[in-house]
Amino acid sequence: MRKKISSSRTPGRPAASEERGARELLLNAATELFAVQGVAGTTFAMIAKRAGLTPAMLHYYFRDRNELLDVVVEERLLLLITRVWAKVEADADPAETVRGIVQRLLDGIEAMPWVPSAWMREILNEGGLLRERIVRRLPYAKVRLLGESLAQGQAKGTVNRDVDPLLAVFSVIGMVMLHMATIRFWSEAFDRQPPSRPQVERHIVGLVLNGLQGSAPARAKHKKR
């Protein structure tokens, strides 16, 4: 897939029509490598090689690693975060909200399978190289909204009173990321076929919604899919 650079153009500078495709290729290659070997272990040369393009091309689009990381956060991770949280609103049924978050997060991971590993490696880890960039952009207001609606559910008895409402939001996100980051590892360890998307979704939604549920009403409603 290596592109030939014609001699009439500046080396490393692609034709306008190629721009979009080449930039996407490079971003995809970068994120995939970040997930497998970490940001620190990934050089520009590796990214260019994986994309089948020249390092000059990579430098044309991204001045340095800082700029590349800014773009990964801006155009990939924040896009996903925004999609996952956009529909979270006050006064919604928290169980339905949690179900929606799990589904949209799984959708996002289907499109960007590198996300869960990158999340564990580069965001949660101390010293993770996307951590600072992401932490200041998290959708705190939305998270608090869901936390509050869980707390209101606890007051009404529809949400499990043992859980910490704000910690629970992280439990839900974490459960999805953790399982998706390790599904292959786990399947190999137990010599099983990796579970399909519907199987993972059923497991996580089932465990989490049942877990969040209080002893009061609405049991049947939350159990049904």
Stretch that binds a copy of itself, among 25-33, 42-50, 95-103, 136-144 (CB under 8 A): 136-144
Judged by CB under 8 A, the residue of 6, 17, 64, 192 near a copy of itself is 192
Judged by CB under 8 A, the residue of 155, 164, 198, 221 near a copy of itself is 164
Count CB atoms within 10 A of the CB of residue 48. Answer: 21
Is 75 a binder of a copy of itself (CB under 8 A)? no
Count CB atoms within 10 A of the CB of residue 218. Answer: 16
Taking the C-alpha atoms of residue 165 and residue 5, their distance in angstroms, rounded to an integer, is 56
Is 217 a binder of a copy of itself (CB under 8 A)? no
Up-side HSE of residue 86: CA atoms within 13 Å toward CB? 8
Is 78 a binder of a copy of itself (CB under 8 A)? no
Taking the C-alpha atoms of residue 13 and residue 91, their distance in angstroms, rounded to an integer, is 52
- Do residues 191 and 182 make contact, with C-beta atoms less than 8 angstroms apart? no
Is 212 a binder of a copy of itself (CB under 8 A)? yes
Burial class of residue 111, CB neighbours in 10 A (0-12, 13-18, 19+): exposed
Q: Per-residue string for binding with a copy of itself, 29-58, x by CB under 8 A?
A: ------xxxx-xx-----------------
- The 3-state DSSP composition of the chain as helix, strand, coil percent (nearest 5) reads 70, 0, 30
- Do residues 125 and 71 make contact, with C-beta atoms less than 8 angstroms apart? no
Judged by CB under 8 A, the residue of 90, 215, 217, 221 near a copy of itself is 215
Cα 212 off chain centre by:
22
Is 12 a binder of a copy of itself (CB under 8 A)? no
> φ, ψ for residue 113 (rounded to 5)?
-65, -15
Judged by CB under 8 A, the residue of 117, 149, 154, 158 near a copy of itself is 117
Find the shortest distance in angstroms from Cβ 33 to a copy of itself: 11
Find the shortest distance in angstroms from Cβ 135 to a copy of itself: 6
Judged by CB under 8 A, the residue of 28, 59, 171, 218 near a copy of itself is 171
Q: Tell me if residue 142 falls in helix, strand or coil.
A: helix
What are the distances in angstroms from CA 39 to CA 3, 31, 122, 177? 25, 9, 7, 18
Judged by CB under 8 A, the residue of 140, 157, 197, 216 near a copy of itself is 140
Q: Which residues bind a copy of itself (CB under 8 A)?
A: 35-38, 40-41, 117, 120-121, 124-127, 135, 138, 140, 143-144, 160-164, 166-168, 170-171, 174-175, 178-179, 181-182, 185-186, 189-190, 192, 195, 199-200, 202-213, 215, 219, 223, 225
